Structure 1
Amino acid sequence: METLAYGFPKLGEKREFKNLLENYWKGKISEEDLIKGINALRDWMVGLYKDTVDLFPSNELSYYDFMLDTAIMVGAVPSRFGEFKGLSTYFEMARGSQALEMTKYFNTNYHYLVPELEGTDFKLLKNYPLEEYLYFKSKGIETLPKIISPYTFLKLSKALVKGSSPLPVYHLSKIERFEDLERYLLALLPVYEEVLKQLRQEGAKVVLFEDPALCYEMESQEWDLVHEMYKRLSEHADIYVMTYYDSVSDYKRFVDLPVKALGLDLVSNRENLENIRKHGFPSDKKLIAGIINGRQVWRASLTEKIRLAEELLKYAQHLIISNSCPLFHLPVSTQPEEDLPVHQVQIEGLTSLSLKERLAFAKEKLQELNLIKRAIEGDQQARMMVEKVENIVSVPFGVNQEVRRRVNALTERDFQRELDYKERIKLQQEILRLPTFPTTTIGSFPQTEEVRKIRASYTAGKVSPKEYEEFIKKQIQHVIRVQEEIGLDVLVHGEFERTDMVEFFAQKLEGIATTKHGWVLSYGSRVYRPPIIYGDVYRPSPMTLNEITYAQSLTEKPVKGMLTGPVTILNWSYYREDIPKKEIAYQIALALLEEVKDLERAGIKIIQIDEPAFREGAPIKRKDWDEYFDWAVKAFRLCSRANPQTQIHTHMCYSEFNDVMEYIYQMDFDVISIEASRSKGEIISAFEKFKGWDRQIGIGVYDIHSPAVPTKESIRSVLERAMKVLPKELLWVNPDCGLKTRRWEEVVPSLKNMVEVAQELREKYATV
């Protein structure tokens, strides 16, 4: 038996990756310094692997995104970027004024850049796998070069296809027809074959292919195509295929693939293990068993994992145990976390137990793999450690019976608003009296270095609560004044007191812990610290009331109450696994409902409940969607059960909405705001195809991930595209997402352009 680990977080112990990128973008370090720093991180990552597991990959440390790397590797650089000129073109594709579209990687919170295929003229432009393989080989370290498979690459890409009115003559669309998939794959394979040939020439014997798209629901003809793909690629290397996030769609076809090893996620689903038990496993292939959870921070029950590994040895002649999916969904290590909750317990040798003792981040996951192997091989010290861990993970933690009683008492009435939308909107319009094309923002405004510094000082106890409160009030005063000067119709308070849209609420709720160093990459250099839902969740006191009501006291215009929805808090946190996810969602929703009622009583007329993770939390297979969306919709409706006069907004971004419109509509909000700028308004086609759409929509006309100020022409084109599909009376005008990562000198002119376009459209269509 061997151990394999992959996908270790590239961020570094002290967020070195983030600092390198941002200093390079600011011109503080040279390209040479950036490369040197990235190589130091590569050495660190592989050093951790080398100390704990038998097999480990190279080609894991992308400068921005591994899907972008793959697109460049195969020469899929859209013509608008001109000739590829190294990092300048690379970062222009990632974050320039015409950057690639961004969306979620399967059902995770990692955002990847969507490759754009303008044709089938692929070529080997840059052999990233070879470069990194040779880097480590020069140091005497043998690695497994890792590549996104051609199949997964194409399933996550968009291709230029011919459309019909009102779409452009050509537009980018997902490759869904089998004929198109086959055509692109056959054109792509020679490039991959060349990559493998060059690797083999330099001594690489095994290449690791990540192919999670094999967990989609696949037709027989697609399996035929994948089989032929691996048959060709296997002529040039021994291929290990990794799948994750779900079960493979057809186990028999999967184990029949002509490769040397097959990786199965045995954590996220039951089907993979059931199929191994039912159908066995081929004797001529290695089984890579993903038994350690790569997406959750809980310590594994090592006794159970050892029992599972020993069972798998009966089916597989050569077993490799691994993490269930890439480890980049986890923070680096629990080691620096010293302030996590401690609960009193009564178990042998323990009177108290810290949450930290129940956690395993990426480093600790490597150690778990090492410990399982050693215990199975008879290492007595390892077996003693396994027994100690079992005592810790078996103890109940964070139980609140009153919270559970409230969830159990919920009835269908609790998930319904008092009046339907058509009646609600009349009452809201009488109160709000907003113009056509009302303008607003998503919520946050720039968090300057001063804001971050004062907040850090407050957290460290160097600034008193009163001083911090006065500082936040001054920031709110400033942002209200700026918004009024720009001419926005619906204002926000700026969220200067919030580090992160989920972490802020986690810090206010019981049953959820936050970390100090548990950073995870979301995209590029953007990091966040996922909270840890360890117990029953409830709200001990109001969370947002002071800041929102203060902001509203400064203006006659409506100020939105800003909340993060229950599904997003759940999906962007590490959640407990001892009760169903829907019960956790309902617990959070009940806490948020208390906040909604407090805001209403304080006179707040618009409340935005953001749910950007609503779509991404859906299972990969559509057959499992109904169960997930049933409770996800109910959780939102539970927390948004406001008075009919209160206008409920929600915000979603950077997800594929076309196939979930029915579920989104069932959420029963009054206004939804969406991303539309990177997709040039094409996301509107999702609403075009949905018959009977009658809710208001805030069109994202300003890409907040780019430092470029959007022109009035680009803003107008998105809105005019929307008006071909939706009545102008339904349209709001707003940025794609929050503005916290941008600078004031970018934000102000961008919002001015946005407001001016809205005013010009009102004049053009003679509306008020």
Structure 2
Amino acid sequence: MAIKNHILGFPRIGLHRELKFALEDYWSNKITLHDLLNIGKKIRYSNWKSQIDSGLDCVTVGDFAWYDHVLNISMMINNIPSRHQIDKEKLNLDTLFRIARGSKSIKKNCSASEMTKWFNTNYHYIVPEFVHNQEFCFSWKQILEETDEALSLGYTVKPVLLGPITYLWLGKVKGIHFNKLDLLEKIIPIYQEVLAELSKRQVKWIQIDEPILVLDLPKRWKQSFVYTYKKIYTNKIKILLATYFGDIHHNMDIVNILPVNGLHIDLVAGKYDLMKLDDDFNKKFLLSLGVINGRNIWKADLLNWFTQLKFFMKLRKTFWISTSCSLLHTPLDLSLENNLTDFVKSWFSFSIQKCLELSILSRVLNNKLHIEEIHQWIKPIDAYKSSNIINNIAVQKRILQISPDQIKRNSNFTIRSKIQKLNLNLPILPTTTIGSFPQTSDIRKLRIDYKNKKISQLDYDTSIKEHIKNNILQQEKLGLDVLVHGEPERNDMVEYFSEYLEGFVFTQYGWVQSYGSRCVKPPIIVGDISRITPITVMWSKFAQTLTNKPIKAMLTGPVTILCWSFPREDISKENIAKQIALALRDEVLDLENAGINIIQIDEPALREGLPLRKYDWNDYLSWAVKSFQLCSSVVKDSTQIHTHMCYCEFNDIMSSIVDLDVDVITIETSRSDMELLEFFKTFKYPNDIGPGVYDIHSPNIPSINWIEQLLIKALKYIPIQQLWVNPDCGLKTRTWTETSLALQNMITATMNIRKKFFKK
């Protein structure tokens, strides 16, 4: 009897974010392609060594990506949008980066492909684009090259690929409409070729990820699994079909007849009864059980898993244990953290430690390690439960006292809008930005110096005020209508707010990839949450003294702070969201009392937090909307509440977005060429809306004509009295040159449209 262990994937940014810095240096021509390739190679080698050193039975290869793993498949099958192609140019990394980021070079000027969230995570992927009668070929052989690398080092390897059906599901049809599933017949041969090449290398197992099996699938999509895997299956290499982020009970009729050798299921996010698994799933499958949470940083209760798995061993003599999903979503190594107290640090487990958890658990199950190792490992879990850090009676009492009148505005939008228009005196098509302005190296150095106590509080505040003054000056020169202070004091839109809230702790090196070179450092929620002190009031109030135009204060909403943090697991997410909402409610009221008449509460994660199964939606949306209303509804009718959402599919929750009852919503639409606005043909959004008119994640400068065309398209669906004009996201990642040129074109285009409107 042997219980083996493995993981579904490993973080690829490097121990010290080497990939991030290498990518950005390459994009700015500071290093060569050769340098970039070498850094990627070193990261892969380090990842594999970490897995083996932690006690895993094999290394996972093919999980490395230069930008994202969905784009890897687009490259592999030569699915390159025509605008990103250059005649006679061989497929290379620059092709990949053009798809992901767009290009403004003389050689090729093109817009980036659309980007959206990977299921219900904060990871983003580049959306594949499909056209009618498209052809594919095996053109990007990274999976084989990385397999060869790992084999040359003597490792037992398990390559991983995103499955063809999930890949098609995630993509979008462009041009002539057709059923994208019709392309499956042309993609299957490439997967057959990959498996044939891997079998030549004596690879025993390949992991093929099909996470859409946790979704509610149309009948034809479900049936396509049987057809596809009959075609792909070969007796020369074993297929481990991997599902995660939920359970697959509703699709087991299809799964149980698939011609695959193994099946991975997520026992953390899925609603499975371990004791019934042997009856639920076909006996021919080797089961891989996802028992270690790949999306949170808390230590696993190994004793609980040991007890359950020991019983399961009586039912199945052989199975694997693994992480619930790829470790892409967790930081790399807890041992780097020095700022956390030993007591707090002992509660957590990062990627390398999660590999160690699998090793300990499998060795104890295989009688190669004494169970005392498990008892030692879980001691901090009991210590956490009895810690005085967790409970705040005042917060818990306040939650119990929430009343219905706290979650609705005094008047409806029609009444509020008239009052606000008189109060703010804004023109038709008001122009604004989403909040942040370029975070220059000077700003970053200033914050680091302050954090390291190299400068005083007075010097820091004085310098931040100078940056705010410059931001206001630049916006007034450009002619924007609603200004922002630019957020020079903020490191991250979630971490910054969390630093002013009780109940959070923070890491130094807990970075996770969001997309490409963009990394975030999620705070960790360890206890009940309350506001320590006003967070943004001083900076917003100062900015308002510098201008006669309205200043828009910027807050991050409760659902986004929850979703973009590592939450505690001993209370419900609903409870956590309401605690955050009450803390933000205090901030909103203080801003209004300080004379700020426009307050933006960003909720880009509202859609992200949506459960994957539709029957769970109502419960989530109910408490998520109420949490937002709890922090936003405290203001007078004259105070205008905005929210911002980006890089999500909003259409299916638009009724809940209406329920937020914000005065203005700004949304991302530019990457999809305002495709989202098609929805408004039939759905009449009742309040004001600002569809983003250019993509801030691309270095491209949008032309005046481009923005005019997008605004004309928007006006087909949205009355001009309701339409705002803005970029599709914050500008912190752009340079001042890019920002000024883009905003100037945006404002010029807006003025041109105003003239056309008034001519009529």
Displacement after TM superposition at 1:195 (Å): 1.6
Cα drift, residue 136 of structure 1: 1.5
> Match for 2:689 among 679, 693, 697?
697
CA distance in 1, matches of 2:290, 2:94: 38
Pairwise CA RMSD? 1.6
Distance 1:488 1:19, change over 3 A: same
TM-score (norm 1): 0.94
Matched, 1:405 2:406: no
Structure 2 residue 108 is the aligned partner of structure 1 residue 87: no
Which runs of 5 or more structure 2 residues have no equivalent in the other structure?
104-110
Residue aligning to 2:107: none
Q: What are the Cα deviations for residues 326-368 of structure 1, in whole angstroms up to 9, with x where unaligned?
A: 111111111122223x5xxxxxxxxxx7221101111111111
Q: 1:41 corresponds to which residue?
A: 43
Query: Quick one: which of 45, 62, 66 aligns to 2:69?
Result: 66
State whether structure 2 residue 657 is matched by structure 1 residue 664.
Answer: yes
Residue of structure 2 in register with 1:234 after alignment:
233
Q: Cα distance, 1:526 vs. partner?
A: 0.6
Q: 1:391 aligns with which of 370, 377, 382?
A: 382
Q: For residues 638-653 of structure 1, what are the structure 2 equivalents within 5 Å?
A: 638-641=630-633, 642-653=635-646
Higher mean displacement: 196-205 or 715-724: 196-205
Question: Per the alignment, in what secondary structure is the counterpart of residue 209 of structure 1?
Answer: strand
Aligned to 2:365: 376
- The one-letter code of the counterpart of 1:447 is Q
Q: Give a deviation string over 1:501-544, Cα, whole Å, max 9, x none.
A: 00000001000112111111111001111010110000021110
Q: Does 1:710 align with 2:711?
A: no
Cα displacement (A) at 1:206: 1.5
Note if 1:730 corresponds to 2:719. no
Q: Single out whichever of 422-431 and 120-129 deviates more from structure 2.
A: 120-129
Mapping of residues 251-330 of structure 1, within 5 Å: 251-271=252-272, 273=274, 276=277, 279-330=279-330
> Which residue pairs with 1:580 in the alignment?
572
Once the two structures are superposed, the pairs formed by residues 250-649 of structure 1 within 5 Å of their partners are: 250-271=251-272, 273=274, 276=277, 279-340=279-340, 354-378=343-367, 379-380=369-370, 382-386=373-377, 388-396=379-387, 397-641=389-633, 642-649=635-642
Q: Measure the CA separation in 1 of the matches of 2:252 and 2:446.
A: 55
**Cross-structure match for 1:18:** 20
Contact 2:130 2:180 (C-alpha < 8 Å) held by counterparts: no
The residue type equivalent to 1:419 in the other structure is: S
What SS does the aligned partner of 2:724 have? strand
SS in 2 for 1:295: coil
Instruction: Answer whether contact 2:599 2:641 (CA < 8 A) is retained.
Output: yes
CA apart distance, 1:290: 0.2
Alpha-carbon distance, 1:314 to partner: 3.3
Match of 1:747 in 2: 739
Does structure 1 retain, via aligned residues, the 8 Å contact 2:274–2:312? no
**Partner Cα separation in structure 2 for residue 682 and residue 383 of structure 1:** 53
Percent identity for Structure 1 against Structure 2: 41
User: Which residue does 1:170 correspond to in 2?
Assistant: none
**1:29, 1:364 → 2: CA distance?**
33
Cα distance between partner residues in 1 of 2:643 and 2:759: 25
Distance 2:317 2:711 in 1: 60
The 1-side partners of 2:697 and 2:576 are apart by 32
8 Å CA contact 1:612, 1:653 repeated in 2: yes
- Matching of residues 159-170 of structure 1 within 5 Å: 159-162=173-176
Q: Is the 8 A contact 2:209 2:241 kept in 1?
A: yes
CA contact (8 A) 1:328 1:520 kept: yes
Is 2:33 aligned against 1:31?
yes
* Deviations 1:570-608 (CA, angstroms, capped at 9, x unpaired): 000000111111111000000001001000011100000
Q: Note the alpha carbon deviations across 1:77-108, whole angstroms, 9 max, x for none.
A: 01111245411211111101411100000000
The structural deviation recorded for 1:44 is 0.3
* CA deviation profile, 1:638-670 (whole Å, cap 9, x unmatched): 100121110000000000111111111111100
Listed one character per residue, the Cα deviations across residues 454-500 of structure 1 (whole Å, up to 9, x for unaligned) are 11010001111110000000000000000000000000000000000
Question: Are the aligned partners of 2:59 and 2:155 in contact in 1 as well (CA < 8 Å)?
Answer: no
Task: Indicate how the Cα distance of structure 1 residues 123 and 588 shifts in structure 2: closer, same or farther if over 3 A, else same.
Answer: same
Counterpart amino acid of 1:388?
Answer: K
Rounded to whole Å, the distance in 2 between the matches of 1:272 and 1:223 is 24
Going from structure 1 to structure 2, the CA distance change for 1:274 and 1:406 (only over 3 Å counts) comes to farther
1:286–1:316 contact (8 Å) kept in structure 2: no
Query: Cα 1:500–1:767, aligned 2, differ >3 Å: closer, same or farther?
Result: farther
Partner SS, residue 16 of structure 2: coil
For the residues of structure 2 that align with 1:284 and 1:428, how far apart are their CA atoms? 66
Relative to structure 1, the CA distance from residue 315 to residue 714 in structure 2 (aligned partners, 3 Å threshold; closer, same or farther) is farther
Provide closer, same or farther for how the CA distance between residues 222 and 677 of structure 1 changes in structure 2, counting only shifts above 3 A. Answer: closer
Give the aligned partner of residue 50 of structure 1.
Answer: 52
Q: Distance in 1 between matches of 2:287 and 2:715?
A: 53
> Which residue of 2 is the match for residue 99 of structure 1?
112
User: Could you tell me how far apart the structure 2 residues matched to 1:485 and 1:547 are?
Assistant: 21
What is aligned with 1:77? 80
Question: How many residues of Structure 1 are paired with residues of Structure 2 in the alignment?
Answer: 740
Say if 1:257 and 1:135 are closer, same or farther in 2 by CA, change over 3 A. Answer: same
Q: Any conservation in 2 of the 1:276–1:315 contact (CA below 8 Å)?
A: no
Provide the rounded CA distance (Å) in 2 between the counterparts of 1:394 and 1:301. Answer: 12
Letter in 2 for 1:62: A
Aligned position for 2:106: none
Asked if structure 2 preserves the Cα contact closer than 8 Å seen for 1:561 and 1:606, the reply is yes
- Indicate the SS of the match to 2:499: helix
Q: 5 Å matches for 1:666-681?
A: 666-681=659-674
Partner of 1:617, secondary structure, is coil
Q: Residue deviations 1:209-266, cap 9 Å, x none? A: 0111111112444332101211211126310011111111323432332111100000
Q: Counterpart amino acid of 2:169?
A: K
C-alpha offsets along residues 722-742 of structure 1, whole Å, 9 cap, x if unaligned? 111111111111111000011
Corresponding residue number in structure 1 for 2:192: 193
How far 1:384 sits from its partner (Å)? 4.4
Instruction: Identify if the C-alpha distance between structure 1 residues 159 and 232 changes in structure 2 by more than 3 Å, giving closer, same or farther.
Output: same
Give ranges in structure 1 of 5+ residues lacking alignment. 164-174, 343-352
Shift of 1:272: 6.2
User: Relative to structure 1, is the Cα distance of residues 702 and 334 closer, same or farther in structure 2, using a 3 angstrom cutoff?
Assistant: same
Of stretches 520-529 and 380-389 in structure 1, the one that deviates more from structure 2 is 380-389
Q: CA deviation at 1:207?
A: 1.1
Q: TM-score, normalised by structure 2?
A: 0.95
Matched, 1:146 2:135: no
